[in-house]
Amino acid sequence: MLDSACLIVDLQKVQRITQGISGCLEPTLIAKRLTEALIKDFNCAFARIWLTEPDQRSLRLVASSGLSENINGSFARVPMGAYKVGKIAKNGIPFLSNQLAEEAWVKDRDWAIANGIQGFAGYPLASQQRIIGVLAAFSHETFLPEFLEVLQVLCMAGAIALDAAQKSPQDPSKSQTRESHPLSDHLGSLLSTSQLSLIGTERPLTPSSTYLLIKTVEILNQFNCHYCRLIYSDTEICLEGIIAAPNPTKNKGRSPFADIEFFVQTLGGNCDVGINAQEAVHQIRLTLPYGATTQVYKSKESLSQRERQILALLTKGLRDRDIAQQLHISESTVKFHLNRTLSKLQAKNRYQAIYQATKQGLI
């Protein structure tokens, strides 16, 4: 059963954690803040993060909190595909178990028993379909299946922050050189199929905002950008772009801007992605307020009465079939309304939709 009160509390914790790593450009510090947050805010007994090595052949342990802070032990290096952590990195599939000591893949069963570890949750850290690491959490108590939903949100923001930090120049002289050139010049150099139009006077932005704009333009260029415009207004910066729709099969039906959309919201901005009737063109409009650090959720339009009814029943733990029976509609109609609700609330799953709808007083 989804408890809406617990849901709000959990995602508010994730919000605070996300704000705490926003703008940080040190990968090990970001990783450490994430593992410490799992111990402090989610009562995990042990949490670790491995980052993928440049050769993509192994993972390196960079942060460990809880039962041990040692990052130089037997799992300091994990070959890609080896052990559970390596398999999560190779396959990109989250994993949850509440009987860790009985799992056949566990290397040190005695350690799990001695420390009373029951729950294990592993989640890939991915940015733009690329695995950059793995987060693993261990608990004395059993993990609810919904905990993976919480990890999904946390790891999504963490992966983007880590990716930005890894790509940021570490040499101060390189950083100064980059800062000496306007952002519009850098964005324009990334486009190979169109020219960037600039409106307004450029002004300094936070590292997170700069990174998001750069990543967005990189994606636009990957899909043959036809139009791109950067607008500086008195209160916000806006990036508009148009691309040919990517091949759904190639991208597994997932928007190429999915990670961008989430992280924009954590910075208090909006990311609207639209598709024309023939599904031949994607249009994106990304807006970020200057220096904003708080998270703001805004639905594109109000939820209908039926959509609110379905969300309210979902918070009570009812399945699609049960909701359909109670409202005297088909199960496919329930799914249709839920998909529209996710779109309106800019939510990536039902867990986020309930959270956002509750915060906005919609249910």
Comparing 177-289 with 305-359, is the CATH topology the same? Answer: no
Give CA–CA dist 165/23, Å, rounded: 9
Give the whole-angstrom CA distance, residue 188 versus residue 203.
16
pLDDT in the model for residue 5: 62
pLDDT, position 130: 85
138, β-bridge pairs:
46, 120
The third-level CATH classification (topology) of the domain covering 4-167 is Beta-Lactamase (3.30.450)
d(C-alpha 45, C-alpha 120), whole Å: 10
Residues with Cβ < 8 Å from 300, sequence gap 6 or more?
272, 343, 344, 346
Q: Which residue shows structure tokens 């989250």? A: 94
Tokens, residue 212:
């998001």
Q: Which fold has domain 177-289?
A: Heat Shock Protein 90 (3.30.565)
Q: What is the pLDDT of residue 360?
A: 75
| 3-state SS assignment for residue 56 | coil
Contacts of 234 (CB under 8 A, 6+ apart): none
Closest CA to 156 of 14, 33, 41: 14
pLDDT at 249: 40
Q: Assign 322 to helix, strand or coil.
A: helix
* Distance between CA atoms of residues 363 and 351, nearest Å: 14
Looking at residue 3, what is its pLDDT? 55
Provide the residue type at 17 as one letter: I
Q: Which fold has domain 305-359?
A: Arc Repressor Mutant, subunit A (1.10.10)
Q: pLDDT at position 176, please?
A: 38
**DSSP 8-state secondary structure symbol assigned to residue 286:** E
State how far Cα 131 lies from the chain centre: 13
Tens of pLDDT, residue by residue, the chain (363 residues)? 455 566 667 777 887 788 778 767 889 999 999 999 999 999 999 999 999 999 999 999 999 999 999 999 889 999 999 999 999 999 999 999 999 999 989 988 999 999 999 999 999 998 767 899 999 999 999 988 777 778 888 888 888 888 888 876 554 444 433 444 688 988 998 899 888 999 988 988 876 788 788 889 988 998 888 889 999 998 899 999 988 765 544 445 566 777 777 677 667 788 888 766 555 667 889 999 886 443 434 444 578 888 888 988 887 778 888 898 888 888 878 888 888 888 888 777 787 788 777 777 777
Domain layout of the chain by residue ranges: 4-167, 177-289, 305-359
Burial of 72 (0-12, 13-18, 19+ CB in 10 A): exposed
Closest CA to 164 of 206, 211, 218: 211
Taking Cα atoms as reference points, which of 56, 57, 60, 37 lies closest to residue 47? 37
Question: CA 148, CA 164: separation in Å to the nearest integer?
Answer: 24
Q: How far is CA 67 from CA 102, 138, 228, in A?
A: 20, 10, 49
For 299, the 3-state DSSP assignment is coil
Terminus-to-terminus CA distance in the chain, angstroms?
17
Question: C-alpha angle 119/121/122, rounded to 5°?
Answer: 150
Give the per-residue pLDDT at 245.
63
The Cβ of residue 139 has, within 10 Å, a number of other Cβ atoms equal to 23
Asked if residue 225 lies in contact with residue 235, where contact means CB atoms within 8 angstroms, the answer is: no
Numbers of helices and strands, H then E, in the chain: 13, 11
DSSP states of 62-120: EEEEES---SSSTTSEEETTSHHHHHHHHH---EEES-GGG-TT-S-HHHHHHTT--EE
What sign results for the dihedral spanned by CA atoms 111, 50, 121, 296?
positive
